[in-house]
Structure 1
């Protein structure tokens, strides 16, 4: 994937005007095309800058893009890697989500009564 060359360690972070980031992204889209990459302090960011690129990523190849971002600063939950919110969308997560929704349906009214008290 093409993209502007960054500075070691900080990548492209110093090349972006945060007040007018849309102008920088538009400039790079004209230079590198509808899909390009940026590096912000070691974090790879892929920019999709056309309807066709976004449609292909989110509809046609949705399975390839269904995962969660690898956020090293996320708060660990008490259940370690068994959370539903921050995991990639796998069969295990589908099952956990199903169990969670069943629990909410079963105990939802009881929980709302507890909150009212």
Structure 2
């Protein structure tokens, strides 16, 4: 009886230790995914809003802004602004845009839009 009680206690302790480990990993992931974009628009180097971040502040609509630090390197984005943001693969927003982010949206992986590692400039436009 005593051995069975000790075995159960050991199993419970092991299960709790596993849950604590999973909980801290889940908290770290949730913190990374919940990180805010304090500017009008943010690009991230890697999927899931990780890696280097480039923040953009838009002064007006229809003004092209070049990506300097993440030129052709962005893999995710957050758009907390009220503007639709168009992505271009050229430096001066020339030609047709390849992707548009809806106002107040985010995309954890630009691969599904065919624009992973392609953004060179962005332009906010009225929705």
Higher share of residues assigned helix: 1
Q: TM-score normalised to the size of structure 2?
A: 0.21
Q: TM-score normalised to the size of structure 1?
A: 0.22
More relative contact order, 1 or 2 (CA 8 Å, 6+ apart): 2
Higher share of residues assigned strand: 2
